[in-house]
Structure 1
Amino acid sequence: MTMQERIAKNKMSLIELAEYLQNVSEACKIHGVSRQHFYDIKKAYEEEGLEGLKDKTRRKPCLKNRVVPEIEEAVMRIAYEKPAYGQLRASNELRKQGVLVSAGGVRSIWQRHEIETFEKRL
């Protein structure tokens, strides 16, 4: 049983206890939660079912591909054609070809493809 499933099961037991006791305040005291939290849980359960009881992340999604595929392809091409080039020189060479990407962008792409060192680009 995963942590998310345990959390959902615990919240479900609170709802079931409140129904069994016919007293929300008493069920909340036993579980050690506020009545407002109980009603938030109940609303989530009524709207989404068991999925609504699982904790949701508030974290912003981390987008791995922040550059367009054409730029990434150009960076990878120059990395293998000229493995001795560093981030700055690769960025400058790409700029001459009309591909605008910073040295940091080159580094990020290389890290994503695990070719950040000269030896790995050979």
Structure 2
Amino acid sequence: MARSDGICERFHRTMKQEFYDIAFRKKVYNSLEELQVDVDEWLIKYNQHRPHSGKYCYGKTPMQTFQDSKHLAQEKIINKNVQSDSLINQTNVVR
């Protein structure tokens, strides 16, 4: 749990420093919707264009890291299903 808290805290700090601190100096927002448009644009840049140095990113964007690791997630799902099926078959044999 502490590791995920650290990741979230780091993201919030980055968002504050790279988006809010700059945006609120440059613009007065008249609505939450107006702010949300700029937040959404920043998130696209953050996830798809900005290289990250965090764990497992190695200078790639989060989207590149995600796409590069999709096959690993699929393998884990397949292995988990195979193991579950194996346990079910073993249980049925014992009965």
Compute the TM-score of the two structures, normalised by the length of structure 2: 0.35
Bigger-Rg structure (1/2): 1
Q: Kindly indicate which of the two structures has a greater share of residues assigned to helix.
A: 2
